[in-house]
Chains A and B, each alone.
Chain A
Amino acid sequence: EAGVVQSPRYKIIEKKQPVAFWCNPISGHNTLYWYRQNLGQGPELLIRYENEEAVDDSQLPKDRFSAERLKGVDSTLKIQPAELGDSAVYLCASSSYLENTGELFFGEGSRLTVL
């Protein structure tokens, strides 16, 4: 079974430029999460989707960050414009409500460097 797929793995941009990250969750997983992980820190939730609905986006900086989940499957996280402090690893995770174990399956992450 394929895991959570993220792209790109690495992205280097200059500040004020836009950037987008893509995530394909595990097939059948209805819940999708975007986390941000700064160096030496644990992941912090940005947004959580149940199917196509964003049910928790309280930690998403909405002035520059946006996200969407098309048809309740793939998701895109966008930053525009990027700032130096946005340099981090952006992790996508998915889980199955039906399995109800609470376990999250993570992708390998997209490492963003803002110069």
Chain B
Amino acid sequence: EDQVTQSPEALRLQEGESSSLNCSYTVSGLRGLFWYRQDPGKGPEFLFTLYSAGEEKEKERLKATLTKKESFLHITAPKPEDSATYLCAGGGSQGNLIFGKGTKLSVKP
């Protein structure tokens, strides 16, 4: 069964304190590993797609990496506006996305 597991469930950081979010996946016929950001009361907003092990993508303070079993979202020197829930999703062979439960990030000034 396809499964995506994210850890930790919640993460509290001080502004400037770098950290990483983890996403482990077992998705048959994986067609991309996706990261989304979701603010309260909003729909998920696309951040990155990674397609092969070793691939890395960056956007401002965020960097996503991919191995054969895991993906990491590294947050460097976060700011309060980075506070959100970060969702990881595996692209299934049937064309849909299998989402994890998300990591709720809080960055305090």
Contacts and interface: CB of A to CB of B under 8 A. Distances in A.
B101 A102 contact: no
B49 A101 contact: yes
Interface residues of A, number: 23
Given A42-B102, A102-B32, A91 B91 contact: no
Nearest to B41: A108
B109 interface: no
Interface in B14-51: 31-32, 34, 36, 41-46, 49
8 contacts: A40-B101, A40-B102, A42-B89, A43-B44, A48-B95, A102-B91, A102-B97, A103-B49
A93 B97 CA distance: 11
A103 B43 contact: no
Contacts of B41: 108-109
Contacts of B36: 106
Interface of B: 4, 31-32, 34, 36, 41-46, 49, 87, 89, 91, 94-97, 99-102
A102 B99 contact: no
Contacts of B94: 56
Contacts of B99: 42-44
B101 A104 contact: no
A107 interface: yes
A113 to B, nearest CB: 14
A107 B43 CA distance: 6
Contacts of B45: 106
